[in-house]
Amino acid sequence: MSLAESLKSAIGENYLSFYDAVAPIVTAESIDDNIAWKAGRYGRGNDYFNCPMNMEQYTAFYDALISAEKVVPHDFEKDCAFFEGCMPVEQIAKRGFDTLRFGALKPVGLTDPKTGFEPHAVVQLRQDNIEGTMFNLVGFQTSLRWGEQEKVFKMIPGLQNAEFVRFGVMHKNIYVNAPVVLDSALRLKSFKGSNIFLAGQLTGVEGYMESTAMGLVAALNMYYSLKNIPDLVFPRESAIGSLLNYLKNADVNHFQPMNVNLGIFPPLEGKKIKSKTERCKIIAERAIEKISEMKKGYDFI
C-alpha cells in the first residue's frame, strides 16, 4: 500500500490533498480601507474586504494578468492537468475577457458604499487567521512568478501598497487538512492514544525550513510520548509555535499550506511599526526570550 493510500485509509479521503493551489496573502494593515470596504455579498455579514474596479481598471488588470510571466513547471508536474476547482486565475482569464467577472471577481450583490453603485468587478479578500492580521485573495491561486504577482496584484485598487506575506503557488503536492487531522503535537487525531505522528510537508507547511521544523516537532513529541512526558509546547511567539498555531486553527473549509511569515505571529501589543526590518528585529527578540523560557521546563534530547 502506498503512503497516499495509507493516509486515505487513516484519515479519510476528503482530508488529503494532492494538488497545492494556494492564493496570495497580504497583511490586513496594508489594505487601503479608503478604497476597499468590509462586507459580505448582499449585505450578509462583514467577512470580506472588497476591492472595487471600474471598467478601465479591470481592463488594465486583465491585460497585465494574461501577459505576465509564469513559473516553468518541474518535470514531474508537466503532465498534471489542472482541475476546475483550482484553475490558476490567469488560466481562467484567458478563457475570455469577462470570465473573471462571472467568477472570482463578480460584483453582484456588492455595493460600493463610497459611490452607491455596483462596481464593474470586485476582488474579495477573506480573513486567513483568527487574529485577522492576514487576508487571502479569493480565487487567486496562480502560476505567475512571485515578482509578477506583486506587480500585477498591486494594480488592484486598495492593494497598491499591499505587503505580501505569501505568494500564490500551483504545484503537485500531498498534504493533510491539518486542523482536522492533527493535534498540536502533529499526532494523528484519528488514532487516540497512539504514537503516529506526521512530519515535514505532509503536515501542511510550505518551505524547506518549515518542513524540517515540523520534522523536529514530530520527533521530539514522539520521544516525549515514549517517555510518558507531556507534549512539547512551543511558545506562540516563536516561529515554530506560530506555524503550529496556524495548523491547529486554520479554516478547515479553506485550508492551504503555510510558510513562516510575519502575519502568523501574534501582534506586537501597543506597537505599530512601519519598518519591516524593525518589526522583524523585535519579533525575533521576543521569540528568543520565549524559547529561552520554554527550554527551562523540558529535558531536551
Q: What pLDDT is stored for residue 192 in this prediction?
A: 61
Residue 26 contacts residue 163 (beta carbons within 8 Å): yes
Give the per-residue pLDDT at 73.
Answer: 59
The pLDDT value recorded for residue 219 is 94
Whole-number Å distance between alpha carbons of 197 and 185? 8
Phi, psi at 211, each rounded to 5°: -65, -40
pLDDT of 121 reads 97
Is residue 155 located within the same domain as residue 218? no
Whole-angstrom Cα distance, residue 62 to residue 64? 5
Say if residue 103 is in the same domain as residue 122. yes
Strand partners, 38: 49
Task: Write down the pLDDT at residue 18.
Answer: 64
pLDDT along the chain (301 residues), means of 10: 70 70 91 95 88 98 95 55 66 94 95 94 93 92 94 98 91 84 91 80 89 95 89 94 95 86 87 83 94 78 50
State whether 66 and 193 are in the same domain: no
How many distinct structural domains can be found in the chain? 2
Count of Cβ atoms closer than 10 Å to residue 79 Cβ:
8
* CATH value at residue 66: 2.40.30
Same-domain check for residues 85 and 218: no
Nearest residue to 153 via CA among 135, 133, 134, 167: 167
Identify the domain containing residue 157 by its residue range. 24-167
The structure's pTM equals 0.65
Look up residue 231 and give its DSSP letter.
Answer: P
Domain membership of residue 198 (yes or no) is: yes
Q: Are residues 34 and 123 in the same domain?
A: yes
By the 8 A CB rule, do 168 and 144 touch?
A: yes
Same domain, 186 and 96: no
Which residue, 167, 202, 226, sits at the end of a domain? 167
- Residue 249 belongs to a domain: yes
User: 146, 167, 188: which is the final residue of a domain?
Assistant: 167
Q: What angle do CA 47, 59, 112 make, to 5 degrees?
A: 35
Q: Does 270 lie in the same domain as 224?
A: yes
Report yes or no on 140 lying in a domain.
Answer: yes
In a domain, 1, yes or no: no
* Whether residue 161 sits in one domain with residue 36: yes
Instruction: Answer whether residue 14 is part of any domain.
Output: no
**275 and 212 assigned to the same domain:** yes
Pick from 136, 167, 198: which residue ends a domain? 167
Residue 41 shares a structural domain with residue 80: yes
150 and 181 share a domain? no
Q: What pLDDT does 282 receive?
A: 93
